[in-house]
């Protein structure tokens, strides 16, 4: 099984995201991926929750025995997180903004569950800012700026980590909740 997830197979698997346009298909994508994607490092944090739309991903996370709460839930739009207001000091988002994944309509809920002064860190491949229609032409960043103008959060940093293969460049947005 380990040989199955070669770099080429990972690229091929990720390329299928454009066809995962329903929660059911997206769930299957991550169910297939779950045993292989979670490479968490022990950084000394002990009060960590995880949320994912994939049951298999959450089951992999459960076996790590590092999460306090695990939520299988699709978020965004009318799907609000089953979490109280001002619950988190920080939210880290990795790989959740891509083809047919999270949309900017999730920002109000992320802000809601983050304590004032807390941080929301969002990592995504730079290519999605061009290829995903709901992010393209500056739409995602415009939605981020809208919340900043409304005084809900402020952009602390926008950083691009450039890789040898520009398709792998990562953009990190760090917002502080007001």
Q: Does residue 154 surpass a pLDDT of 90? A: yes
Looking at residue 41, what is its pLDDT?
A: 41
Give the total number of structural domains in the chain: 2
- Per-residue pLDDT tens over the stretch 120-150: 999 999 999 999 999 999 999 999 999 999 9
Last residue of a domain, one of 47, 71, 95: 71
Task: Say if residue 44 is in the same domain as residue 81.
Answer: no
Q: How confident is the model at residue 65 (pLDDT cuts 50, 70, 90)?
A: confident
Last residue of a domain, one of 29, 53, 71: 71
Look-up of token digits 């760090």: 174
Looking at residue 142, what is its pLDDT?
A: 97
- Per-residue pLDDT tens over the stretch 9-64: 655 655 565 566 666 766 666 666 556 544 464 456 678 899 998 899 899 889 98
Task: Say if residue 80 is in the same domain as residue 61.
Answer: no
Alpha-carbon separation of residue 16 from 26, 85, 99, 136, 178 (angstroms): 10, 35, 9, 19, 37
The pairing of strands 48-52 and 67-72 is parallel
The proportion of the chain whose per-residue pLDDT surpasses 70, expressed as a percent, equals 75
Q: Does residue 173 surpass a pLDDT of 90? A: yes
The domain in which residue 140 lies consists of 75-178
User: In the predicted model, what is the mean pLDDT of the chain?
Assistant: 84
The proportion of the chain whose per-residue pLDDT surpasses 90, expressed as a percent, equals 56
Task: Say if residue 88 is in the same domain as residue 147.
Answer: yes
Phi, then psi, of 39 in degrees rounded to 5: -115, 65
Last residue of a domain, one of 24, 51, 71: 71
Q: How confident is the model at residue 2 (pLDDT cuts 50, 70, 90)?
A: very low
């Amino acid at each position: 099984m380990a040989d199955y997830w070669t770099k080429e197979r990972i690229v091929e698997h990720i390329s299928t995201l454009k066809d995962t346009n329903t929660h059911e298909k997206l769930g299957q994508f991550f169910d297939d991926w779950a045993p292989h994607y979670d490479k968490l490092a022990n950084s000394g944090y002990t009060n960590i929750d995880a949320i994912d739309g994939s049951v298999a991903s959450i089951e992999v996370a459960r076996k790590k025995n590092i999460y306090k709460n695990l939520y299988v839930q699709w978020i965004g739009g009318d799907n609000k997180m089953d979490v109280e207001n001002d619950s988190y000091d920080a939210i880290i988002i990795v790989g959740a903004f891509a083809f047919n994944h999270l949309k900017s309509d999730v920002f109000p809920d992320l802000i809601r569950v983050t304590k004032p002064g807390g941080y929301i860190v969002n990592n995504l491949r730079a290519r999605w800012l061009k290829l995903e229609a709901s992010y393209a032409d500056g739409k995602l960043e415009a939605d981020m700026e809208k919340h900043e103008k409304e005084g809900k959060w402020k952009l602390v940093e926008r950083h691009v980590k450039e890789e040898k293969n520009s398709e792998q460049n990562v953009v990190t947005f760090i917002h502080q909740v007001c």
